[in-house]
Amino acid sequence: MKLVRILGLASALGLGITAWLVFYWAPLEQAMGFVQKIMYIHVPSVLVCYLAFFISFLASVGYLWKRTEGYDVVALCSAEIGVIFCGITLVTGAIWGKPTWNTYWTWDARLTTTLILFLIFVGYLLLRRFVEFSEQQARFAAIIAIIGFLDIPLIHQAVTWWRTLHQTSTLFSMKPGGAIDDPLKWMLYVAMVAFYLFFAYLLTKRIQLERQERELRRTLAALE
Amino acid sequence: MIRAILAILRKDLTLELRKAENFIAMMFFAVIILLIFSFALPPDNDNHKNLAPGVFWVTFLLSGILGLSKSFALEKDLGCMEALLLAPISRGAIFLGKMLGTLVFLLLMLALLIPLFSLLFYPEALPYFFEVLGLSMVTALGFSSLGTLLSGLTTDVRFKEILLPILLFPLLIPLLLASVEILAGIFAGRGFQGELDWLKLLVGFDLIFLIASYLTFDFVMEL
C-alpha cells in the first residue's frame, strides 16, 4: 500500500516537473521547432512499452517454469500497460510525422515493427478475454508472450530490409555529430525517468487490482 | 520417438485421404481467392508481374489457415485428444506428427496451386515450378510449425476461427515478407541467388519457431 502511494506521488511530481520543463526550460530544436517537443512523450513511451513487454516475457517464462500465479499476474498487467504505451507511441509518432515527414504514417522499419508488436500483444489480450479464467488461460497467454517476443528480432530485421526512413536512434548513438544537443538530451532523460516512475506506479497499482479481482472471483466461486 | 511421430503422421494422412474433405475445401477456397484477386486487380499483365508474389502468398496464407484450424478439430470432436495424451509418447512427438501432417497437405496444395496460379493470374509462373516448390517447402515449414502450435492452443477457445488468424498473421509477417521477396527474385529469373539474405531470414524463422513450438507445445497439451 505504502509503496504504491509513494510511487504515485513521485510519478505525479515527475510528470509535472517534466511538463513544466518541456514548455519553459527546454530550448526549441533548430530544425523541427515546436513539434519536436512531442518527442518528450514519444521516446519515453516507446521505452516504457519495450520494458513492459520485456517484463511480460520474463514473467511468462517464469510462470511456465515455476507455475506460481504471481508471475501470471505480472505478465498480464505488464502486457496491458505495454499495449497502452505502444498505442501512445504510435499516435504521438503520427502527430509528429505529419509536420516532419509530411505524412501521418509511413511503412518505415521501426514504425512497422512497433505496429506489429502492438498487434501481437493486442492478440495476447484478446486471447486472455476469450479463454475462461483458469490456469489454462495463464499457460496459453504465456506461450503467446514468449513466441511474440522471439519474433521481434525477426520482424525488425525483415522490415528493415524491406524499407527504412526513420532517423536512427539519436539518444543512444555515440557519434558526436549525430547525437542531440545537451539540454534536449537532459530533457529527454528527465522525461524518461518520469515515465519509468509512472510505469512503476501503474504496474504496482494494476497488480494490486488484479490480485483483488482474482481474490474476489475465488471467493464468489467458493460461495456458489 | 520417430515411430510415434510416423504413427501420428500416418493416422492423419489416412484420415485425410479417406475423405479429403478438408483438402478439397482448402484447394477450392484457394481457387476462389485467386479468382477474387483476378477480378479485383487491374487485368493488364504488367501489373500482374509486380503483384504476382504477393498474391501467391496471400492466397497461400488464407487457404492454409483454413486447413490449420481443422488440424485439431477432429481430435476434439471424438475425444481422441485425451487418448493421444494418455499414450506413452512425448508431447513433442504429437506436435511433430501433427506438424508434418499439416506440412504434407500444405505442400500438396502448393504443388497444385502453382499451375492454377499461372492459369488464373500469372502465366509466366509455370516455368519456375520447381523453384517455387522449393521455396514453398521452406515457407510451409515455418507456417505449419507456428500454425500447429497456435491451432492446438486455440482448439478449446471461444471464437477460435477469428482468434487463430489474429494471433498467427502478425507473427508470420517476417515469413511473408521473406517469401514475397524471394518469389519476386525467382520470377525475375534470378533464382535464389538474388535474395540470399532473405533466404537466411526465412530459414532462421523456420528453425526458431520449429524449436520454440516443439518446446512450448508441452504446455499447450496439459490435461
Residue-wise pLDDT for A7-63, tens only, equals 888 888 888 888 888 888 877 776 667 777 888 888 899 999 999 999 999 999 999
Compute, in degrees rounded to 10, the torsion defined by CA atoms B44, B49, B53, B58.
-10
- Closest listed residue to residue A217, CA positions, set A155, A113, A134: A134
Q: What is the pLDDT of residue A198?
A: 93
Nearest to B167 among A123, A155, A162 (CB): A123
Does residue A150 belong to the interface with chain B, where contact is any CB pair within 8 Å? yes
Evaluate if residue B153 carries a pLDDT over 80.
yes
pLDDT for A3 beyond 90: no
Q: What mean pLDDT is predicted for residues B71-92?
A: 81
Tell me what the mean pLDDT of segment B171-192 comes to. 87
Q: Which of B85, B93, B112 is nearest to B24 (CA)?
A: B112
Give the model's pLDDT for residue A175: 47
Backbone φ/ψ region at B79: left (φ over 0), alpha (ψ -120 to 50), beta: left
Q: Is there a contact between A140 and B171 if contact means CB atoms under 8 Å apart?
A: no
Spatial contact of A47 and A192, defined as CB atoms under 8 Å apart: yes
Range list of β-strands (E), chain A: none
Q: Give the nearest chain A residue to B147 (CA atoms).
A: A147
Q: Which residue of B has its CA nearest to A162?
A: B177
What domain range is A51 assigned to?
2-223
For residue B51, pLDDT over 50 is answered with yes
Phi, psi dihedral angles at B87 (to 5 degrees): -60, 145
Using a CB-CB cut-off of 8 Å, the residues of chain B touching A147 are 146, 149, 171, 209, 212-213, 216
Contact status, residue B144 vs residue B99, Cβ threshold 8 Å: yes
Contacts of A123 in chain B (CB under 8 A): 163, 166-167, 170
What number of other Cβ atoms are within 10 A of residue A146's Cβ? 22
Question: Does pLDDT of B162 surpass 70?
Answer: yes
| 8 Å CB contact of B157 and A150 | no
Closest Cα in chain B, distance from residue A167 (Å): 22
At A101, list the grid cell.
515527414
**Helix, strand, coil % in chain B, rounded to nearest 5:** 85, 0, 15
| Percent of chain B surpassing pLDDT 70 | 99
* Beta partners for residue A29, in sequence order: A33
Q: Which one has a higher pLDDT value, B67 or A116?
A: A116
Which residues partner with A33 through β-bridges? A29
- Residue A161 burial class via C-beta count within 10 angstroms: exposed 0-12, middle 13-18, buried 19 and up: middle
Q: What is the pTM of this model?
A: 0.86
Residue B169 corresponds to which cell in the numbers above? 498473421
pLDDT tens-digit map of A70-83: 999 999 999 999 99
- CB contact under 8 Å between B171 and A147, yes or no, is yes
Q: How many A/B residue pairs have CB atoms within 8 Å?
A: 78
Residues 6+ apart with CB under 8 A from A7: A197, A200, A201, A204
- Look at residue B120 in the predicted model and tell me its pLDDT: 85
Q: Span B19-39, mean pLDDT?
A: 88
Of A64, A116, A126, the CB nearest to B173: A116
Q: How far is CA A124 from the centre of its chain?
A: 15
* Contact call for A143 and B220, based on CB within 8 A: yes
**Contact call for residues B186 and B122 (beta carbons, < 8 A):** no
* Alpha-carbon span B149 to B153, nearest angstrom: 6
* Type of residue numbered B19: K
Domain ranges (residues) in chain B:
2-220
Best B145, B157, B160 member to test A by mutation, with max A CBs in 10 Å, is B157
Q: Report how far Cα A172 is from the mean position of its chain's Cα atoms.
A: 18
Compute the average pLDDT of residues B129-148.
92
Identify the band that residue A1 occupies on the pLDDT scale cut at 50, 70 and 90.
low
Q: State yes or no: pLDDT of B99 exceeds 80.
A: yes
Of the candidates A138, A38, A43, A147, the one whose C-alpha atom is nearest the C-alpha of residue A96 is A38
Of residues A163 and B33, the one with the higher pLDDT is B33
| A9–chain B Cβ distance below 8 A for any pair | no
Query: Tens digits of per-residue pLDDT, A166-197?
Result: 555 555 554 444 556 677 778 888 889 999 99
Provide the residue type at A94 as one letter: A
Confidence of residue B1 (pLDDT cuts 50, 70, 90): confident
The C-alpha cell at B100 is 508434418
Measured in residues, chain B has a length of: 223
Q: How far is A102 from chain B (nearest CA, A)?
A: 26
Q: Which of A107-111, A186-190, B165-169 has the lowest mean pLDDT?
A: A107-111
Only one residue has cell 509511413, namely A106
Task: Give the pLDDT band (50/70/90) at residue A111.
Answer: confident
Q: Is A32 on the interface with B (CB under 8 A)?
A: no
Per-residue pLDDT, A164: 55
Among A195, A202, A204, A196, smallest CA distance to A1 is for A204
Phi, psi of B122 (to 5 degrees): -140, 95
Q: Cβ–Cβ contacts within 10 Å for residue B207, how many?
A: 13
The total of structural domains in chain A comes to: 1
Across chain B, mean pLDDT equals 87
ipTM for the predicted complex? 0.86
Inter-chain contact B177–A158, Cβ cutoff 8 Å? Answer: yes
Query: Minimum mean pLDDT among A69-73, A182-186, B143-147, B165-169: which range?
Result: A182-186
pLDDT of residue A85: 95
The pLDDT of residue B160 = 80
When the pLDDT of each residue in chain A is averaged and rounded to a whole number, the result is 85
Among chain A residues, the shortest Cα distance to B150 is held by A144
Query: Which of A50, A111, A123 minimizes the C-alpha distance to A81?
Result: A50
Q: Specify the pLDDT at position A180.
A: 61
Indicate the DSSP class of residue B125.
G
Pairwise CB contact (< 8 Å): B177 & A146: no
Buried b (16+ CB within 10 A) or exposed e, A45-71: bbbbbbbbbebbbbbbbbbbeeeeeeb
CA–CA distance from A104 to each of A90, A109, B169, B178 (Å)?
10, 15, 24, 26
Is the Cβ of A4 closer than 8 Å to some Cβ of chain B?
Answer: no
Cβ count near B152 (within 10 Å): 26
| pLDDT(A162) > 60 | yes
Please provide the size of chain A in residues. 224
Mean pLDDT of B162-174: 91
| CB–CB contact B212 A119 (8 Å) | no
From the list B157, B171, B197, the residue facing A151 with the nearest CB is B171
